[in-house]
Amino acid sequence: MMKKLPIGVSNFHKLVSNDYLFCDKTAMIAEFLNKGDEVTLIARPRRWGKTLNMSMLCHFFASEVNGLSTAGLFDDLAISKIDGGNHIAQHQGKYPVIMLSFKDVNASDFQGAYNAVYELILKVYSSYTYLFNSDKINELQLEQLYVIRKRQANQQQLESSLELLSQCLYQHHGQKAYMLIDEYDTPLNKAYGNKEYLDTMVAFMRNLFSAALKDNDALARGVLTGILRVSKDSMLSGLNNLETYTLLDEEYSSHFGFSEDEVSSLFQANGLNTSIEEVRHWYNGYKVGSLVRYNPWSIIACINKTGLFDVYWVNTGNNDLIKQLIGASNDNIKSKFEQLMQGEALTVPVDKHLAFDLLDRDETALWSLLLFAGYLTFQTSNISADSDLYDCTVKVPNDEIRRLYNRFFKEWLSSKFMDQGVYNSFLEHLVVGAVSTFVEALSLFLRQSASAFDTQFSRKSEGFYHGFVLGMLASLGRTHYVKSNRESGLGRYDLLLIPKKEGSKAILLEFKQVRKEEELESSAKIALQQIQTQAYHTELLQYPHVKEVVECGIAFSGKSVLAAYATYDLIDKQSSDIILTNRYGQEED
């Protein structure tokens, strides 16, 4: 019997005790104990297992969580086989633990965020009601506990609430407390763009964290997780005892994300014979330290959909900040993105300590955000010779992220060069098979947007045209299945549009790029011939409602485009005569 998939399960006890399929990351506990940092910050992209690993730490150090005993949870896991199980004997279930997550603190103004934090503190306090009856808590501390519990605390008292709780737990249990703070940087995301809100929120959170984590004699150790390491003059400025581990560091590199062996095991455990090469193409490519990792959320979601490849991770959160920053970037940055979309790598400056308030004005801050948030990955990183920045060679990690950039790029280009009505007509010409009109509009579009497309010929530059057209077609998802780089017949086509309703034509596109305009005609014909000789239409045979396919070879040279196309009847197995357009899309005899 196959185990259940842990979609959305971030409670370690539930995961281990309810026969869920999971990757054992408990070796992280041994690394954490051996390092001995007083306060640790681990920065990883969203949905990369941060909350689950924090829950794992909570269940390891606490004797019970939510009223459930943690005894025996780790007896058959990796941590039990390290150092003869001494870590379990010495530390498991021995400490009071304070755990809280800021993932839902996303109000549109400071008062709303402040109220949300207060509710979060009250929820944490509700787990320790026994302190109100403890004879080891002095009268003054008890009075302070009641002020917070009765919602009568002022801001200064609330900022000291975690420190107070840790002190009371220490006095009651005789053991210092572990403090686990998940997604500490989430409150800043909503505040971005509102300076007054951002500044006030930063000051509030800085005071809360400083009181709890700096010079707190009741603290055993503290752990924070988030996406970013916010700069020292910001939320963490009071923590001079903090050690930070980002994607650039070797420490903890194997404990977040999946290795290829783990991915293969997960697919096999669910009886899926999915090509690991295809999985790698879609979801691999992230480098952490010296290791290459898979996006864990996308892998689990893909398995849950019986191996269907789709954009899972990019749809789990709000990408508006990334979209806004890229759309508002200068021409130099947009030019660099064109190179990234072509599959090229760039060397850019990266700062481990992100200046969040400079994102729209500092290129280093933008590249740092994109890297640490999972929208880019790095191949190499070296500390700069004349600064504390890193020179990182970055690239787009996989097809899932590339498709997101396609969407951003399409929206930016369409808003800049054509209104929505023209854009819709542009797409409609293609889906009805009016290739000459489509190519004419495409050719005009290329000529009008020279700065975006004036790229020199290279081995990879064909991929830019492919990516651009794919991005332009993304909005057809409601009426068509839009497929890219899929095996069919004797090879792999570039793009295929499959209509969802009967009576519409499928569209097969194959792209070529050439150095000289004189080569456009022959190249377009070669692209069309490739479609036909490789029988790329084969995939369409599993869609009985599709009767015809327009096969189209499109050749690009700089800002010029030419197409050769023919209609293939899937019923009668016959193809119409080849029609060739000129460089302006007009049909030639």
Q: What is the pLDDT of residues 384-413, one digit of tens each?
A: 766 788 999 999 999 899 888 877 766 765
**CA gap 160, 206 in Å, rounded:** 11
Beta carbons within 8 Å of 308's beta carbon, 6+ residues apart: 302
Of 402, 395, 397, 399, nearest to 286 (Cα)? 397
| One domain for residues 178 and 276 | no
Residue 588 pLDDT: 65
Residue by residue, DSSP assigns 520-564 as HHHHHHHHHHHHHHTTGGGGGGG-TT--EEEEEEEEEETTEEEEE
Flag whether 2 is in a domain. Answer: no
Q: Is the pLDDT of residue 423 over 80?
A: no
Q: Is the pLDDT of residue 475 over 80?
A: no
Flag whether 72 is in a domain. Answer: no
Residue 236 pLDDT: 76
Residue 467 pLDDT: 65
| One domain for residues 374 and 487 | no
Over residues 331-337, mean pLDDT: 74
| One domain for residues 125 and 182 | yes
Q: Phi-psi region for residue 549, left (φ > 0), alpha (ψ -120 to 50) or beta?
A: beta
**CA gap 241, 176 in Å, rounded:** 17
Residue 448 pLDDT: 66
| One domain for residues 103 and 220 | yes
Q: Of all helices (H) and strands (E), which one includes residue 249? A: none
**Pairing relationship of beta strands 177-182 and 219-226 according to DSSP bridges:** parallel
129 burial via Cβ count (<10 Å: 0-12, 13-18, 19+)? exposed
Q: Is the pLDDT of residue 298 over 70?
A: yes
**Which of residues 315, 333, 356 is at a domain's end?**
315
Q: Is the pLDDT of residue 232 over 60?
A: no
447 burial via Cβ count (<10 Å: 0-12, 13-18, 19+)? middle
**CA gap 219, 572 in Å, rounded:** 77
Please, are residues 533 and 575 in contact by the beta-carbon 8 Å criterion? no
Residue 318 pLDDT: 75
Give the residue, 218 or 454, on which the prediction is more confident.
218
Q: Is the pLDDT of residue 356 over 80?
A: no
**CA gap 275, 191 in Å, rounded:** 42
Of 589, 581, 588, nearest to 440 (Cα)? 581
**CA gap 575, 587 in Å, rounded:** 18
Residue by residue, DSSP assigns 58-74 as HHHHSSEETTEE-TTTT
| One domain for residues 172 and 275 | no
**Which of residues 399, 434, 457 is at a domain's end?**
399
Over residues 167-181, mean pLDDT: 97
Flag whether 162 is in a domain. Answer: yes
| One domain for residues 185 and 334 | no
Residue 580 pLDDT: 83
pLDDT range class, residue 4, cuts 50, 70, 90: confident
**CA gap 6, 14 in Å, rounded:** 9
| One domain for residues 155 and 126 | yes
Q: How many CB atoms lie within 10 A of CB 539?
A: 19
Q: Is the pLDDT of residue 472 over 90?
A: no
| One domain for residues 53 and 147 | yes
Q: Is the pLDDT of residue 341 over 80?
A: no
Flag whether 78 is in a domain. Answer: no
Flag whether 73 is in a domain. Answer: no
Q: How many domains does the chain have?
A: 4
Residue 332 pLDDT: 74
Domain span holding position 569: 418-588
Taken as a whole, the chain contains a residue count of 589
Q: Which of 117-121, 184-188, 254-258, 335-339 has the lowest mean pLDDT?
A: 335-339
Give the residue, 521 or 229, on which the prediction is more confident.
521
Of 234, 242, 209, 235, nearest to 40 (Cα)? 242
Of 10, 209, 17, 187, nearest to 98 (Cα)? 209
> What is the percent of the chain with per-residue pLDDT over 90, rounded to a whole number?
57
Q: Phi-psi region for residue 21, left (φ > 0), alpha (ψ -120 to 50) or beta?
A: beta
Q: Is the pLDDT of residue 234 over 50?
A: yes
| One domain for residues 309 and 326 | no
Residue 340 pLDDT: 81
Over residues 86-112, mean pLDDT: 94
Report the chain's mean pLDDT, rounded to a whole number.
Answer: 87
pLDDT range class, residue 331, cuts 50, 70, 90: low
| One domain for residues 285 and 190 | no
Q: List, for residues 11-70, the tens digit of each pLDDT value.
A: 999 999 998 988 999 999 999 999 989 999 999 999 899 999 999 999 999 999 999 999
Q: CATH code at 162?
A: 3.40.50
Please, are residues 466 and 494 in contact by the beta-carbon 8 Å criterion? yes
Residue 70 pLDDT: 96
| One domain for residues 195 and 47 | yes
User: Does the pTM of the predicted model rise above 0.85?
Assistant: no
Flag whether 189 is in a domain. Answer: yes
Flag whether 254 is in a domain. Answer: no
**3-state DSSP percent of the chain in helix, strand and coil, to 5:** 45, 20, 35
Q: Which of 62-71, 98-107, 574-583 has the lowest mean pLDDT?
A: 574-583
| One domain for residues 300 and 437 | no
Residue 324 pLDDT: 79
Q: What's the Cα-to-Cα distance from 269 to each of 1, 263, 300, 302, 303, rounded to whole Å?
A: 10, 10, 12, 13, 10
Secondary structure class of 305 (helix, strand, coil): coil
> What is the percent of the chain with per-residue pLDDT over 70, rounded to a whole number?
89
Residue 454 pLDDT: 42
Flag whether 9 is in a domain. Answer: no
Reading the block at residue 25, the tokens are 């990351």
Give the residue, 160 or 355, on which the prediction is more confident.
160
